[in-house]
Chain A
Amino acid sequence: MDFAFTDEQQMIRDTAEAFLKDTSTSEAVRTAMVSELGYDAELWQRLCGEMYWQAIHIPEAYGGLGLSYIELIAIVEQMGRYLLCAPYFSTVCLATNALLCAGSEEQKAEHLGAICEGKTATLAWSNTGGWTADSVSASVRKDGDDYLLNGDYRYVIDGASAELLILAAKEEGNNAVQLFAVDATAAGIERQALPTMDQTRRQAAIQLKDLRVPAGAKLTCESDDAADALNKTLQLATVALAAEQAGGMQQLLSSAVEYTQERKQFNRPIASFQSIKHKAADMMMRNEVARSSIYYAACVADEALTGGELSAELPEAASIAKAWCSEAYFKNAGEAMQMHGGVGFTWEYDVHLYFKRAKASEHLLGNSDQHRENIASLLLDGE
C-alpha cells in the first residue's frame, strides 16, 4: 500500500500545473469562454501536440501513452483548478472511456487513433441529465444492414463542436442499450449550441432524425447490451469530474486566502478575524478530503479499466467522490464569494466563474443527493 504519487506522477502533475497556470490564465479563460468555439483551438493543439494529454490513458497499441487513470486524474485536477476551456473532458473522459469500455479492437484502433491525433469527440446519452444507462433517451432499430436512430439529447458536453459523437440509444423492443460512433456532420444530426450559465464548459442539444448508420458504427462490446459499458463509462467520467471539482476548490481557497490577507478593514487584514479564518479552515478541510476521495477513486478507476481486483468498487468509489466533491466545491465557492465581499460579486473577479462552474458540475453526472441515494441503496437495500 502506497497512497502517494510516484515521482513520475508527481512530475506529470507539476508539469500540468505549471503549463496551465501559464496558458489558462484568467484572460485566456475569459477570451475562450465567449469565443465561437468555446475554447482556444491553438491551445488545444498544444495540449495534443506538445503535452499529449489527450492520449494519456489510451493504450500504446492505439497510439496513446498508456499511462494510468491516476496520471489522468492528476492532470484533470489541474484543469479544474485553472478552469481550462477545452474539449478535454468530453473527448477523453467521456468519449475515450466509452470507446475503451465498449469498442472492438478495430473500432478502438480507428477512433482512439484519431483522438490521439487531436480529433475531438463527446458522448451523448440522455435528454434528462440522468447519470446512468437508465436515462438513455434515443431509440434505435435495425433497418436492413443499417441502424436507424431517432430521439434527442440535451446537456451534451461540447456537443456543438465535437467532431465524433458516441451516441447511446435503446433498441426498440428489448430496450437494450447500444452505443454508436458517428461522424458529427452526418445527415440526420441536428446540433444546437445552448447558452450556458457556466461559460467555461459548453453544452448542446442534439436531435436525431432518422440518422442512418452502418452496422460497423455500433460499438461491439462483449455483451448484447451496452448498458454496463455505458454505466462504467459514466462512472469513470464521474471520477474525473470530481477531480476537476477538487482542483477548482484549491484555486478558490488560494484566492480567498490571498484576498483576505490583502484586504484591510478596522486597520487589520480581514484574514486575521477568526470568522474569516474558520471559514478558510473549513474550506481547506473539505478540499483536502476531496483530494483523498479522488485519488482513491482514481486507483479504483484504473483497476476497473485494467480488470484489477478492485474493479467492483468503481460504482461506490465514484459516488463517494462525486457526492463529496460536488457539495464541497459549491460550498467553498459560496464561501469564497462571501470572503471576497463586494468584489466577489463583480464580473471582473474570477470567483463567479468558479461559482458557476461548481453549480454546473454539481448537476452534471448526478448531484450529491443522487449519489448518496446510490450509496444508500448499496448499503440498505440488499440482503
Chain B
Amino acid sequence: MKLQFSEKDEAFRKEIAGWLADNLTGEFAQLKFRGGPGDEHMFPEERKRWEQKLAEGGWTCVGWPTEYGGRGLSIEQQVIFYEEYARAGAPGRMGHIGDGLTGPTLIAFGSEAQKAKYLPGILAGTEFWCQGYSEPGAGSDLANVKTKARFDEAKGKWVINGQKVWTSLAHESEYCFVIARTDPDSKAHKGLGFFLVKMDQPGVTVRPIEQITGTSEFNEVFFDDAECDADDIVGEPGDGWKVAMGLLGFERGVSTLGQQMAFQNELNEVVKLARENGAANDPQIRQRIAQAHIGLKIMRYNSMRMLSGDKGDGSLQKEALIYKLYWASWHRDLGELAVDIMGPEATILPEGPYELNRLQSLFLFTRSDTIYGGTNQIQRNIIAERGLGMPKEPKW
C-alpha cells in the first residue's frame, strides 16, 4: 500500500489543472460549479460548447483506449483528471453519458460500424446521449420492460413503441440508447434488445417532469413508431440485458472520485456557513459536521481501495458493492445538515415563485439520490444476495 502518486502522475495533475485554469475563462467562467446534479438544466448551450473546448484539448473520453481516440489514461491519471476537474469547478458534463456509458458499451459490445458511426461525435463533444432504461412499470424491477421493438421487413428498420421515464437531458440529446423487448412473448431479462435511437424524428416525444425542486432535469420519452436502422442494435436481439448490465458496470468507475470532489465543494460551503452564522458553536451541529467530514474522507479511501483492487474483469468487490448505498445516504444526510445549519432562514426562498439557493436545492435534490440508479432498498438486496450469498425472495 502506498498513498502517494508518482512524480509522473503529479506532473499530469499540473498539466490538467493548468489547462483548466487557462480555459475555464471568458464565456466559460460563468459555468464554474454549475450544471451538477440538481442544476443540470442550466446553461445547456454553453456547456455543449465547453464540451467542444474539452475535445480540442483532448480532454473528452480520457479513459477510452487510444485506438478509439481516447486518451488511454491509467486509473491513477483518470482519478487525477476527475479530481482536478471537480476542484476547478468545471461544469457538469453534458457529455457524461456518451463518454462514460455509450462509448465504453460500444467499445465492449458494438460492431466496428457502430464504433465508426457514433464514437467520433462523442469524442468531439458534438453529439450527446441520454439513456432509456426505466419505464413507469420498470423501476426497481428493471427487467419488466414493456417498450417493444419490432423489425419491419418492408422498411428494413426497427420500429419502437413504448415509454421511458427519468431520462435526464433527453431534450438536449441527439441519441438515446433504449432497452426494448424484441420478443413480444418474452418475460423479464430474456428477449430484450439494446438500441441506438436518434431523438430528432417524428416518433419521439420528450416531456419534462417537474420535480420537487420545481425544476426539470428528468423527462418522459414517448416512442410512437420511432425508427432506427437495422444495424443500430448492439449485439443480437435477446442480448439487451447482457449489454445493459455491462453498461451498469461502467457506471461504477473512477468518476466517483470526481463526484466526491464535488461533494467536498458542497461540504466546504456548509462548513463556511456554519462558521459564519454561529452554528459551528452548537455541539450537535459540530458532531454532524464532523460526521459528514469523516463520511466523505472514508468515501474517498473506499474508492481508492475499490480502484486499486479493480481486477478489470467486471467482478464486483465488496467495497464496490456498497458504494452506491454509502454515498447516496451520505449525500442525503449532507442535504439535511445544510438546511439545519441554515436554520429558519432555510424556509425562506431567495426569490419567488420558486427559486432555491444552492443549499436548499441540495436538500431537496438529494432525496433522489437514494432512489435513482437502484434504490437503497434494492442496493441492500444486491449486497445481501451477491455480497453475502443470502437467499433471494421467494417468487410470487
Contact = CB atoms under 8 A, between A and B. Distances in A.
Query: Do A and B truly interact?
Result: yes
A372 B383 contact: no
Interface of A: prevailing SS: helix
A380 B301 contact: no
A344 B338 CA distance: 40
A372 B287 contact: yes
A380 B383 contact: no
Interface stretch (B21-29, B107-115, B386-394): B386-394
Contacts of A300: 3
Given A375-B290, A380-B274, A380-B286, A284 B305 contact: no
A328 B289 CA distance: 18
Q: Give the most central of B275, B325, B388, B394: most A CB within 10 Å.
A: B388
Interface string A345-383: 000000000000000000000000100111110011000
Contacts of B293: 375, 379
A93 interface: no
B interface, size bucket:
35 or more
A62 to B, nearest CB: 24
Interface stretch (B50-58, B176-184, B373-381): B373-381
A289 B298 contact: yes
B240 to A, nearest CB: 28
A228 B375 CA distance: 47
A376 B281 CA distance: 10
A309 B326 CA distance: 30
Given A295-B1, A295-B301, A379-B289, A280 B384 contact: yes
A373 B286 contact: yes
B224 interface: no
A5 interface: yes
Given A257-B388, A280-B388, A375-B294, A3 B3 contact: yes
A372 B290 contact: yes
Contacts of A376: 280, 286-287, 289-290
A70 B305 CA distance: 14
How large, as a class, is the contact surface on chain A? 35 or more
A135 B301 CA distance: 31
B3 A281 contact: no
A278 B384 contact: yes
A323 B297 CA distance: 12
Interface stretch (A38-46, A164-172, A182-190, A267-275): A267-275
Contact of B305 (A4, A271, A274, A323): A4
Contacts of A281: 322, 325, 379-381, 383-384, 387-388
A1 B78 CA distance: 12
Interface in B1-44: 1-6, 9
B358 to A, nearest CB: 20
B307 interface: yes
A22 interface: no
Contacts of A295: 1, 301, 305
A322 to B, nearest CB: 10
Nearest to B319: A288
Contacts of A11: none
A306 B199 CA distance: 59
Given A277-B385, A278-B380, A285 B325 contact: yes
Nearest to A382: B275
A271 B319 contact: no
Contacts of B79: 1
Contact of B307 (A3, A253, A324): A3
Contacts of A291: 305, 319
Nearest to B291: A372
B280 A4 contact: no
B302 interface: yes
B309 interface: yes
Nearest to B5: A1
Contacts of A324: 294, 298
B187 interface: no
Interface of A: 1-6, 9, 70, 253, 257, 260-261, 268-269, 271-272, 274, 276-278, 280-282, 284-285, 288-289, 291-293, 295-296, 298-300, 309-310, 319-320, 323-324, 369, 372-376, 379-380
11 contacts: A1-B5, A3-B308, A260-B390, A271-B390, A272-B391, A289-B298, A293-B298, A293-B301, A310-B4, A324-B294, A376-B287
Interface of B: 1-6, 9, 76, 79, 271, 274-275, 280, 283, 286-287, 289-291, 293-294, 297-299, 301-302, 304-305, 307-309, 318-319, 321-322, 325-326, 377, 379-381, 383-385, 387-394
Q: 7 shortest A-B CB distances, which residue pairs?
A: A277-B384, A281-B380, A372-B290, A281-B383, A376-B286, A292-B302, A375-B290
